[in-house]
Chains A and B, each alone.
Chain A
């Protein structure tokens, strides 16, 4: 555990990607099995200890330190695990750190009942760095600037294997990844995943931006506004995965016995709606899909009211055949042939958008304000299906965002890299004429779209224009205007304004604009498309 804690500390303070890779690779080479496997799992978010939550840590600390002092400290530090590691009273006995495997075993044995007595014992065996590493490990989501991808790349570098191969096997394996280490470090046979219903990494697209492509070489498809999914059948089992590789099969049980053959398919999960549009019809807005997301159990009513279907984009494997190396045109042919054999109630094919040339395509894109369409995808006709984002193969060409001027109302402190900065903003529009005494009503929240320098300036604005404090939230004097960009706006009960934006982000900070010139609720309401 000491070595792991030292690695975590070193990673926290390292900016350079190469240096991070070197540090992780060095650790993986020097550490024995299964400790290094557990460490790799921790770095790639592969560990989950349901008994240990952020709230568990909070409760433990509130028994040992005044709750007000805890809250003030947590608010300043911006990270529960770190605050706790700093505030944990130093035990009298010298540290006797457990190994990674022991730690993982102990954490795994804890239940909600025992965690309040067992976790303290473990904390008492560690110094401040060790406690930090332990709590990060236990609550998952290290947030130390190491992505799952970086951890895998470091693994590949440590043992001189290809990271694509690592990605390929990854989702078929579980921590501490004994087979993976045996293959990469000791030259054993690669892990066998052929008969496992595992997730394969998606091929992703770059934003098109100023690029102009020749439609001789590229095919265009609509980019649907649902969630990207992968449907996998192998070894007699079917699973549905989200873009990040999370298994969402139980949320969408209607797909679990519908695929007649072994295959890995790439598509957009959508919900059928009655008020939808689009050339192909059938898809409701993202708002409808949202009713189905995140549910652990699904009622019959849900299944009938919001029936889901997959609009197919691509195929990776068909009946044991790996088609990823084939050019897109050939895969498309295989996919079309397959689609005709699938039930239309659950599948359709994302059709190709025909255009004379790029300008014509641009017109078609502008003309589409259908709510289930986010924009266009451009796919190079000879592109293989490659994991990740490769330049030149696939582009996404989103519709231009909608814009509205809002007034900053509340700001909340961020966490992680932005801890102690006010970086999460709630903004509002006027409920009538501000010069006749209308109020602002909150319409959305955003925490992106600005640079680090702009963040510092907004933070300063918040600090010097605070009129009220509610814990970590500050109410400002409503003097700053944000031009907010968003993809669409819907009716919603979440905000008092009755409206909710999709993907709101700060587009520009209008230091120059007086707040009474910001937009009114009715202007935003007029942009509702469905």
Chain B
């Protein structure tokens, strides 16, 4: 009999499962990949076979148009959809079950089972309610491989209602300007829009061109985003007193000059730290994140109550320390290629 958990190997470029010869969220192209969600640092293009939720596959299709490019001499791509709660059997007697992670549309934790041992790879997750995706489900396992993007005790995301109120208040105070919100194009943007609608804001919301397709995709998957318009089709006067959403990279870009005196806002967990907001020239920081904050990370580790916790991409040191202080076994994985700059 093989040593316990010898069937799961953290490598610099992802988590490798030898008996199934496949990878979880590999940061380079591989023959077979299990993908937790559609963010580029987890869902690279070019894999031979991708196993993911139908929503994640749709997102990857949109981003990489994977199916259309098998004529360039690349390995033909095969998409294997797995619904939430569904288990698929991989080679070598490994079962994979996709469980909601509450991060973005289609995001999943992947439960891997082999020889009676259970390992969960969370991908990215949060514990707060999100109108655009089903909530994280706590699932028992032996090894819990958790993200740690906001793994420092200074990170505490306030209730999103407070942040929406801040945004709407600023919008009302400056009717002759507009508020430009930088938000990650997949997930954050749609969540902000959906939360604005929930807060009773039904005015048209203007979009940077790079946001449009992803918003359509969300709507096709049943997320109602209300009336959306493109900045490109509007005049400065149209936009006065409205909210505009763009990718963070466009906030201080030439593109924003076409807007009427925009108040620069950014929706990100990093905005909790003043100097981070200052570094990005943000006037209105909105502390909104699709990742678990410190309280959520530690609560989740307690609730999952695994024998061992493996901590990846983010501030591993502090979460590792917390595990030590609370007598929980933990180790930090040095995975490369994960980015956290824009969330």
Contacts and interface: CB of A to CB of B under 8 A. Distances in A.
A375 interface: no
A83 B155 CA distance: 10
A76 B315 contact: yes
A225 interface: no
B283 A73 contact: no
A483 B270 CA distance: 34
Contacts of B153: 65, 69, 73, 87
Nearest to B322: A69
B278 A12 contact: yes
A83 B282 CA distance: 19
B272 A86 contact: yes
Among A14, A76, A83, residue most surrounded by chain B Cβ atoms (within 10 Å): A76
Interface residues of B, number: 23
Interface string B216-230: 000000000000000
A76 B275 CA distance: 10
B321 A78 contact: no
Nearest to B277: A13
B278 A72 contact: no
B6 interface: no
B279 interface: yes
A77 B278 contact: no
B285 interface: yes
Interface in B235-263: none
A268 interface: no
Contact of A417 (B152, B272, B278, B315): B278
A72 B273 contact: no
A79 interface: yes
Nearest to B158: A128
Contacts of B279: 417, 419
Given A77-B154, A87-B153, A419 B275 contact: yes
A68 interface: yes
B325 interface: yes
Given A15-B281, A65-B153, A66-B325, A72 B317 contact: yes
A82 B318 contact: no
A420 interface: yes
A452 B58 CA distance: 38
A450 B273 CA distance: 24
A13 B275 CA distance: 9
A69 B275 CA distance: 19
A416 interface: yes
Given A13-B282, A73-B154, A68 B321 contact: yes
Given A13-B278, A65-B153, A72 B285 contact: no
Contacts of B282: 13
A12 B274 CA distance: 7
A83 B276 CA distance: 13
A460 B117 CA distance: 40
Interface in B150-185: 152-154, 156
Contact of B321 (A72, A416, A419, A420): A72
Contact of A78 (B152, B275, B285, B317): B275
Contact of A73 (B276, B278, B318): B318
A13 B284 contact: yes
A420 to B, nearest CB: 7
Interface string A51-90: 0000000000000011011001100111100110011000
B284 A69 contact: no
Interface in B300-343: 315, 317-318, 321-322, 325
Contacts of A73: 152-154, 318
A204 to B, nearest CB: 27
B275 A417 contact: yes
A83 B315 CA distance: 16
B273 A82 contact: yes
A14 B283 contact: yes
Contacts of A417: 275, 278-279
B273 A77 contact: yes
Contacts of B277: 12-13
B283 A72 contact: no
A419 B315 CA distance: 16
B321 A82 contact: no
Contacts of B156: 86
A82 B281 contact: no
A69 B276 contact: no
Nearest to A416: B275
Contacts of B278: 12-13, 145, 417
A414 B284 CA distance: 24
B154 A13 contact: no
Contacts of A12: 274, 277-278
A65 B322 CA distance: 11
Nearest to A79: B275
Nearest to B270: A420
B115 to A, nearest CB: 37
Among A13, A14, A73, A416, residue most surrounded by chain B Cβ atoms (within 10 Å): A13
B285 to A, nearest CB: 7
A83 B283 contact: no
A66 B321 contact: yes
A13 B283 contact: yes
25 contacts: A9-B274, A13-B278, A13-B283, A15-B283, A65-B153, A66-B325, A68-B318, A69-B152, A69-B153, A69-B318, A69-B322, A72-B321, A73-B153, A73-B318, A76-B154, A76-B315, A77-B275, A82-B273, A83-B154, A86-B154, A86-B272, A86-B273, A87-B153, A417-B278, A420-B276
Closest 4 CB pairs of A and B: A86-B154, A419-B275, A72-B318, A73-B154
Given A69-B322, A78-B275, 4 more contacts: A12-B278, A72-B152, A72-B318, A87-B153
Interface of B: 152-154, 156, 272-279, 281-285, 315, 317-318, 321-322, 325
Interface of A: 9, 12-15, 65-66, 68-69, 72-73, 76-79, 82-83, 86-87, 132, 145, 416-417, 419-420
